[in-house]
Structure 1
Amino acid sequence: MASVNPPRGMRDFLPAEKARRERVLSIIRDRYRAHGFDEIETPVMEDYDRLHAGIGGDNEKLAYNVLRRGLDADAVREAAADPAALADLGLRYDLTVPLARFYASHRAELPGVFRSVQAAPVWRAERPQKGRYRQFVQCDIDIIGDASTRAEAELIVATLDAVGALGLENATVRINDRRALDAMLDAFGFAAAERPGVLITIDKLDKIGPAGIVGELRERGVQTAAVDAFEAFMNRPQALEHLPFGERQIRNALPDGVPDDVIADLVAIGEAVAATQPAAVPDGPPLVFDPFLVRGMGYYTGTIFELAHPSVPYSLGGGGRYDGMIGRFLGTDVPAVGFSIGFERLVDLLETSEADAAASVVLIHDADVALGDLLALKSQLVSEGIRVRLERRPKNLKALLERAMSDGFTSFAAVRTDTTRAELEVKPLA
């Protein structure tokens, strides 16, 4: 018999879990709309050449490609060594590349500064494991057409608001700038050709620590003097800082030589975010400057950031500025910056709340109750904003009630012939 399981790395969702996911999505969408972002929708597939244009980083290697129509066996054999000859479309592996194409296509119909929301599934040919899927939902907000730090500040404030509305308090944003990283590597003496590999190693800092980073850099065979300078910088004496973010903290975390305008941009973002915090919060903005935050996507050109929460050791989202991507479609650069929430990680982290199953009732009716009376009673409850399910009374009532509760219902009521709304006795399931 054929397997009845979904493909590896993909999942079915039972009604209660689907309702929970939709509730979380609804809250995120609502908060982003409140901050002035407009939701768009793009096709699940894009042209093969666009998905493999060198703007998607390592994700391009994980793209699911769609075979060209009409290829016979001989044509497939002839094109076997050329993926571009076999495929003309592919499933999107993120929402940023489709957004860049969308903006290039509809630029004349959009405002000068466009704030977009996308919440949709993407597909990657990952090796399935816990927390890593081949189909998953991304929630992105992006601002296109604003080169100022206002765009980053708006994204950070809106994202923190959305996360707070979901009940996750004390979330923070780790922030850095790719220009600061480049200046830092230049100050240490790493050659330009070595830097992409050096950044890949530095990106492992949270996993292998400073000593592991230095060891791997030496194994890579990069310039010894540069590694020595990096090691000395990592091991320098540092004073403990009470406040996590500000000009002094940023300068103390970087070597000399980082351009002042880069530091000024980071400070401006912090000041703007801090202005949105309650006056009772004395510790500045919920930002943490991390000079070794890398984010592996090669298309980032400036600020980069990640969403963190003290309850988990991994990030719950991230993003950054990608001013060069849209220019690949338009021929002229357009400033752009985005922030993506890791929806699957976020859903797993959130506890089920009463809001997941609010105002719902199962009407358990006798077999002789007229269908018209049942539907009239159901319609009356629905008009009151109550979710209603009809169930004929079974022999095993306990099993029915347990299933109803697992499906997200909160109450039940017995319906007999001529039972009216006023006579309906609603009882809690829990």
Structure 2
Amino acid sequence: MASTAPARGMRDFLPADVRRRAYVIGVIRGVYERYGFEPLETPAVENIETLLGKYGEEGNQLIFKILKRGEHEASGQADLALRYDLTVPLSRVVAEHRGALPRYFKRFQIQPVWRADRPARGRFREFYQCDVDATGSTSPVVEAELCAAACEAMQALGFSDAVLRLNHRAVLAGVLDVAGVPADRHGDALVALDKLDKIGLDGVKAEYEQRGLAPALADTVLGILGAAAISGAVAADNEAALSRVEAFVAGHEAATAGIATMREVLSLAAHTPAAGQLRVDLSLARGLSYYTGCIMEMTVPDLAGSLGGGGRYDNLVGMFLGQQVPAAGFSLGLERILVVMGERGMFPAHIAATAADVLVAQWNASSAGEALALAHALRRHGLRVEVYPDADKLGKQFKYAASTGVPLVVIEGEDEKAAGELTVKDLRSGEQRRLPRADAGPLLRDLLTPASSGSL
């Protein structure tokens, strides 16, 4: 018999899971829309050449490839792939629809992506990203607004202790240059450095050696980044961290300009909801190869890894368009956010509730039409109403409602019809009473409010 479990790294989402996901997506979407970002959706499948070469060596290996079909299937070649992220598809869209889009295009996109990764706790092969991006401007105002939107979304979800770590790829490149890492080995050095919080200093040294880089280079680079970076902490004093690296890369034009940009982003962000949440972290590398400027990562205390990240990628759109279009973006990781919120009990109590407020009981087999009519009348008052499908004993109907979390059961028997009333049983308190049928909608809504619970 075939297994009924989903493929490894994939999941089924039961109703309570879907409600939690919808709640988080709704909060994030609401914040993004308040910042003037427009919605965008792209296909799950992209041409494989669209994705290859955009994510670095390790990223290429994690792309889910789709074999050619029909008579070409035996070739074993792939011409399509599931999208790896939402940033490269955005860049393709900007290039494809440049004439129809505004010069300064702000978009948010909340869709699933796929990676042929090894499944682990909070890490899946299919997962949602919640992206917000802006194209068309090199102004640090863009980064400041992205930081503000990401921080405000996290605050709205209850992460008041979130920290947004900030670095710049030109600063990293300057440190590597001055430390003596050959320019053609910067990618290897950054991929290893990006794993610092997971594998530690010794692990980075070992990876440098595996990649043919002298272990002494790791000592030099990490020595420049400082003890705080090595321990996984971030700089409490942003200016002190910038001044330290500024002294080391003095004379390196690109790195010095990167430091100036970081200072400006910090200054601008001080006027936004990101104030006080940005921390300079000179060890932050972010493995994706398309970043060209500021890079950011969202973390919370006592949690390994990040809940989101992003940065500036001024060259990516140009790979499709043939001319440079500046761009920057930030992505919140929905799956990790959901896991952490669940573990920490951060969801509002009503989010995991049943899909119905009221169950309309069937009194007998001939009352089905009347039960449906009553349900329709109650729905017109904004109530979520389920009709019990069979004329079972009332005890069985009450038991079903209790098992699914429906708080109120409504009965319209012969006595109730004759009196123009309904019987309502509140399963939260066990109390039962009559209500006038004509006013049932508003009265039931009142009974659902916390203040009315148990006060039948």
Deviation at 1:39, TM superposition (A): 0.5
For residues 229 and 10 of structure 1, the distance between their equivalents in structure 2, rounded to whole angstroms, comes to 41
| Corresponding position of 2:306 | 315
| Corresponding position of 1:293 | 284
1:328 aligns with 2:319: yes
1:183-222 matches, cutoff 5 A = 183-214=174-205, 216-217=207-208, 221-222=212-213
| Corresponding position of 1:281 | none
| Corresponding position of 2:154 | 163
Deviation at 1:218, TM superposition (A): 5.3
In 2 relative to 1, CA 342–397 (structure 1 residues): closer, same or farther, beyond 3 Å?
same
- Alpha-carbon contact 2:67-2:73 (below 8 Å) kept: no
| Corresponding position of 2:260 | 264
For residues 229 and 286 of structure 1, the distance between their equivalents in structure 2, rounded to whole angstroms, comes to 29
| Corresponding position of 1:412 | 408
For residues 51 and 66 of structure 2, the distance between their equivalents in structure 1, rounded to whole angstroms, comes to 12
| TM-score normalised over the length of structure 2 | 0.81
| Corresponding position of 2:243 | 251
1:352 aligns with 2:343: no
> Which amino acid is 2:98 matched to?
R
1:306-344 per-position Cα deviation (integer Å, ceiling 9, x unaligned)? 111125222001011111111011100100111011000
For residues 86 and 3 of structure 2, the distance between their equivalents in structure 1, rounded to whole angstroms, comes to 31
- Alpha-carbon contact 2:234-2:281 (below 8 Å) kept: no
Matched residue pairs, number?
A: 409
| Corresponding position of 1:387 | 384
| Corresponding position of 1:427 | 426
| Corresponding position of 1:55 | 54
- Over the aligned positions, Cα root-mean-square deviation in angstroms equals 2.8
Deviation at 1:188, TM superposition (A): 1.2
- Of 340, 363, 371, the match for 2:368: 371
| TM-score normalised over the length of structure 1 | 0.86
| Corresponding position of 2:35 | 35
In 2 relative to 1, CA 376–253 (structure 1 residues): closer, same or farther, beyond 3 Å?
farther
Deviation at 1:129, TM superposition (A): 2.7
Share of identical aligned residues, percent? Answer: 37
- Alpha-carbon contact 2:144-2:268 (below 8 Å) kept: yes
1:266-285 matches, cutoff 5 A = 266-277=262-273, 285=276
> Which amino acid is 1:367 matched to?
N
> Which amino acid is 2:384 matched to?
R
For residues 235 and 177 of structure 1, the distance between their equivalents in structure 2, rounded to whole angstroms, comes to 16
Deviation at 1:212, TM superposition (A): 4.3
- Alpha-carbon contact 1:323-1:335 (below 8 Å) kept: yes
| Corresponding position of 1:11 | 11
- Of 156, 165, 180, the match for 1:174: 165
- Alpha-carbon contact 2:110-2:128 (below 8 Å) kept: yes
SS of 2:262 mapped into structure 1: helix
Determine which structure has the larger helix proportion and give its number.
2
Deviation at 1:215, TM superposition (A): 5.3
In 2 relative to 1, CA 422–152 (structure 1 residues): closer, same or farther, beyond 3 Å?
farther
> Which amino acid is 1:112 matched to?
R
Give unpaired runs (5+ residues) of structure 1.
Answer: 279-283
For residues 229 and 64 of structure 1, the distance between their equivalents in structure 2, rounded to whole angstroms, comes to 37
For residues 345 and 404 of structure 1, the distance between their equivalents in structure 2, rounded to whole angstroms, comes to 27
For residues 245 and 232 of structure 1, the distance between their equivalents in structure 2, rounded to whole angstroms, comes to 18
For residues 236 and 121 of structure 1, the distance between their equivalents in structure 2, rounded to whole angstroms, comes to 37
- Alpha-carbon contact 2:9-2:125 (below 8 Å) kept: yes
- Of 91, 105, 118, the match for 1:114: 105
SS of 2:361 mapped into structure 1: strand
For residues 66 and 35 of structure 1, the distance between their equivalents in structure 2, rounded to whole angstroms, comes to 37
For residues 218 and 93 of structure 1, the distance between their equivalents in structure 2, rounded to whole angstroms, comes to 29
> Which amino acid is 1:403 matched to?
S
